[in-house]
Structure 1
């Protein structure tokens, strides 16, 4: 029986880094394993030895990208905010900062969410699991701030969070479009006009639009 040689962690890390970069830039279908091997400075055969096939390599890249964010996430950005508007603004700034710090990982995960129906079944299942986990994490991060809010009669926390979600999701799309149109952007300060516009919309929701009535 042939003895399996131990994996080289540095080579494996290079393969994953190359896979994240190329899958993020080109997508799953267009990216070839030989491109990843070339960028990682290893043989194509070694890539298959470590990851079996392209599908498993893509899944490993998704997992590594997601774990990167889960490792560095700072919960205090959400939980130490004085109110919900401040929390959304702080979290938005923080997410942009992470995106600028880890652009390939962020793009890979965003692309997987948007185009998950075009992915292999194993990656689709992982994306769905990741979506649920991220939703649960967001709820957990927001819970301490929401618990401190006092709502008007007839207004529930669920209603308020649903409306806030519509607004923030719209601004996430705006921010992604802006970053895609300005790949040279490297500083979060350059996004302040959009962030301040989001702050204005959140204040409108909290205070209401109509006087009297």
Structure 2
């Protein structure tokens, strides 16, 4: 006789997912134990395995949920309605910080995935690599319409500009992350404005160069 599988309890599953997000975000994949997730979610370890199969699949489901949550609320107009390159990057960075302050666990989980990619299980590593490619494609889609409004110097292409821009912004985003980690009391974007002002200044240097005409 075929056994009928009991339906999942959405309330318990939501508790499992919330507990997994909190603990994976703070402790990473390897250090986080399923027992700890079960205890935080107030369910049995066996129920977690019943719903998700194993720790690897639970982590992958948590990654997907975090990424999908952020993508669902992202406002592309922040990029596309900016008047110029510097305004676009500054506005986008300010917007990303505001999202990170609203969704700190999701950002921390994804950031840990990028930083500790080689430590992730195979499914998680593959998913993060796919996110990296998707993010590169998304960046091009958001940035290139702004580039289309600009006139580049002879010999400079939009691809060249995007490559340089990525170097500058990725380095400065690390500085923002370090600042937020060392200043957990920060809760608003306004508290980050001095750093944003520095980013704007550096971007102006990139846009116009730093060597005066001879």
TM-score above 0.5, yes or no: yes
Runs of 4+ in 1 over 2 A off after TM superposition: none
Q: Whole-Å Cα distance in 2 between the matches of residues 84 and 10 of structure 1?
A: 45
Residue of structure 1 equivalent to 2:54: 53
- The alignment partner of 1:29 has SS state of helix
SS in 1 for 2:211: coil
Write the deviation string for residues 67-88 of structure 1: whole angstroms up to 9, x where unpaired. Answer: 1111110000001101111000
Q: Distance in 2 between matches of 1:51 and 1:25?
A: 20
User: How far apart, CA to CA, are the structure 1 residues paired with 2:105 and 2:190?
Assistant: 20
Q: How does 1:107-118 map to 2 (within 5 A)?
A: 107-118=108-119
SS in 1 for 2:91: helix
Q: State the match for 2:42 in structure 1.
A: 41
The 5 A counterparts of 1:1-213 are 1-213=2-214
Cα deviation digits, residues 61-113 of structure 1 (max 9, x gap): 11111011111100000011011110000000000001100001100000011
State the distance in 2 between where 1:141 and 1:67 align.
18
Measure, in 1, the Cα distance between the counterparts of 2:183 and 2:56: 31
CA distance in 2, matches of 1:193, 1:106: 22
Aligned length: 213
Out of 159-168 and 87-96, give the one that drifted further. 159-168
Q: Distance in 2 between matches of 1:130 and 1:167?
A: 21
CA–CA distance in structure 2, aligned partners of residues 160 and 71 of structure 1: 28
Structure 1, unpaired ranges of 5+: none
d(CA) in 1 for partners of 2:155 and 2:140?
A: 22
Structure 2: gaps (5+ residues): none
